[in-house]
Amino acid sequence: MLCGISRMRIQCCIDGKLFSSLPPLTNISLPSPKEIHLWYVIPNEVKGESLMNKYMEILSPCEIEKVLSFQRDELRKSALLARALVRTTIARYQINSSVKPKTIKFRNNIHGKPEVDWLCSYNWEPPSLHFNISHTSSLIACGVTVNSPIGVDVEEKERTTKHSILTLARRYFSKYELEVLTAIEDPYIQQQEFVKLWTLKEAYVKALGKGFSGAPFKTFTIRRGSAVGEQFYLSQNSSAEACDIIVDYLDNTENLTSNWQFMLLELASSHYIAICRENDVKTKGDWNNPMKLTAWKTIPLVEDRCVSETDEVLTVCGLR
């Protein structure tokens, strides 16, 4: 139960030790122009009412109200962890020590995409930091870039759907994408390719920041740029040339743009995560070079573990 947060003395038992206060966040350097930082948390690995109450303490009143509005415990926990992950992630990148997780303020753009609303002072210029968050019941992820809008979507690999894969594809996907899925005879592979395509399209729409109505799935096609098949098979080869992902635009796409890079990953052996970021105009001549990903598995305010170049994060496709 998430209760008594204003009166409760926060304590947390970690590895058998009792702490009256949790350690400060580790400062992290901002991502380079061609780098993406990814932070993710596994909800089932975050335990303890005292830790949950600590997370509640760093939320805004509106966020607390939103968390408590969920009736089911698992939904409240997921909403709480999502907000705690965003706040603790952004707070890591500040050289201004006065920026704490609780003091960070947010605003929505005209399409509802959250942005940081920096409290600027005469002696501090905030970073051009962009973030996006996605979550399932079993994993929550937050991506961070500098100077470039970013979209992130995560889905369980074994995600099931109420309707058949092809029924959903006819409703949401382009004609080309539907043809690719229809040509796959193996039901399991077809389901896997559907999930991968969905995450890529969702990440692109989120990166655009226009909402689903501003960029409906049917108005664009996601495909491989290489000629060696159209399926996004898992591969240990992370070369950009072999894993190019392209967006093709269909009718009525005046609001869509083409200067985007994609990354599709297998995360924690159980999820697919798609990342889409806009190319920074300041590094246009460097667009053909692969993006760099640095990833951390975290329990906010408790521990962080860098999992880059481990089996926790495998490249499926797309580094361009």
Q: Is 66 exposed, middle or buried (0-12, 13-18, 19+ CB in 10 A)?
A: middle
pLDDT (average), residues 293-301: 96
pLDDT digits (tens, 9 = 90+) for 134-152: 999 999 999 999 999 999 9
Distance CA 192, CA 177 (A): 14
pLDDT (average), residues 147-160: 94
Please tell me the number of Cα atoms within 13 Å of 235 on its side-chain side. 18
Domain holding 94, by residue range, is 12-317
Q: Which of 72-81, 141-150, 156-165, 251-260 has the weakest average pLDDT?
A: 251-260
- The neighbouring-strand residues paired with 267 are 271, 313
- The reply to whether 5 falls in a domain is no
Label residue 17 by pLDDT band (50, 70, 90): very low
For helices 49-57 and 73-91, angle between their N-to-C axes, nearest 10 degrees: 50
- Looking at the structure of the chain, the number of domains it has is 1
What pLDDT is stored for residue 21 in this prediction?
59
What pLDDT is stored for residue 239 in this prediction?
42
b/e burial code for range 115-152 (CB count within 10 A of at least 16 → b)? ebebeeeeeeebeebbbbbbbbeebbbbbbbbbbbbbb
Label residue 9 by pLDDT band (50, 70, 90): very low
- The reply to whether 3 falls in a domain is no
pLDDT (average), residues 225-235: 53
Please tell me the number of Cα atoms within 13 Å of 224 on its side-chain side. 18
- The reply to whether 1 falls in a domain is no
- The reply to whether 7 falls in a domain is no
Q: Which of 79-93, 108-122, 219-233 has the weakest average pLDDT?
A: 219-233
Q: What is the CATH number of the domain that holds 102?
A: 3.90.470.20
What pLDDT is stored for residue 248 in this prediction?
82
Of residues 168 and 124, the one with the higher pLDDT is: 168
Distance CA 43, CA 48 (A): 12
Please give the model's pTM, rounded to 2 decimal places. Answer: 0.85
What pLDDT is stored for residue 236 in this prediction?
40
Of residues 117 and 14, the one with the higher pLDDT is: 117
Say if residue 190's pLDDT is above 60.
yes
Q: Which of 43-57, 80-94, 249-263 has the weakest average pLDDT?
A: 249-263
pLDDT digits (tens, 9 = 90+) for 257-273: 668 889 999 999 999 99
Retrieve residue 195's tokens: 């999930």
Distance CA 204, CA 151 (A): 6
Q: What is the mean pLDDT of the chain?
A: 82
What pLDDT is stored for residue 3 in this prediction?
39
Of residues 50 and 256, the one with the higher pLDDT is: 50
Retrieve residue 231's tokens: 């399926």
- The reply to whether 181 falls in a domain is yes
Label residue 229 by pLDDT band (50, 70, 90): low
- The reply to whether 112 falls in a domain is yes
Nearest residue to 183 via CA among 200, 165, 201, 195: 165
Nearest residue to 89 via CA among 81, 309, 200: 81
